[in-house]
Amino acid sequence: VHAQGDTYQVVADVSQFEPPDIVVTTSNCHVAIQAEKVAEDGTVCDTFTHKCQLPEDTDPLSVSCTLTEAGTLVITARRR
C-alpha cells in the first residue's frame, strides 16, 4: 500500500490474465485480488492471489480499481 497525497494505492501486475478472470473484493479494510487462467480443457493453468490491509483512515466507500492496457491493476482508496 502506497500513500499518495490524500489517497492510498495498491498496484499489481496481472498482465497474464484477461479482465474477466480478475476479481477484486474489499471487506473490513482488506483488499483481495484473485485471478485465474483456465485452459481450454478446463484445468487451471495459472493463478494469482494477493491480499492486503488498507490503513484504518481509509474511506471504505471510496475504493475503486482500474486495469491499464499494460495489465497493471491499480486500486485506489481515499483517506478520510
d(C-alpha 18, C-alpha 36), whole Å: 9
Pick from 1-5, 20-24, 72-76: least confident: 1-5
Residue-wise pLDDT tens digits, 16-46: 999 999 999 999 889 999 999 999 999 999 9
List the domains of the chain with CATH numbers: 1-76 (2.60.40.790)
Can you give the pLDDT at residue 78?
A: 94
- Grid coordinates given for 45: 493453468
For the whole model, what pTM was predicted? 0.86
Whether residue 80 has pLDDT greater than 90: no
Instruction: Assign 3-class secondary structure to 26-39.
Output: EECCEEEEEEEEEC
Can you give the pLDDT at residue 1?
A: 86
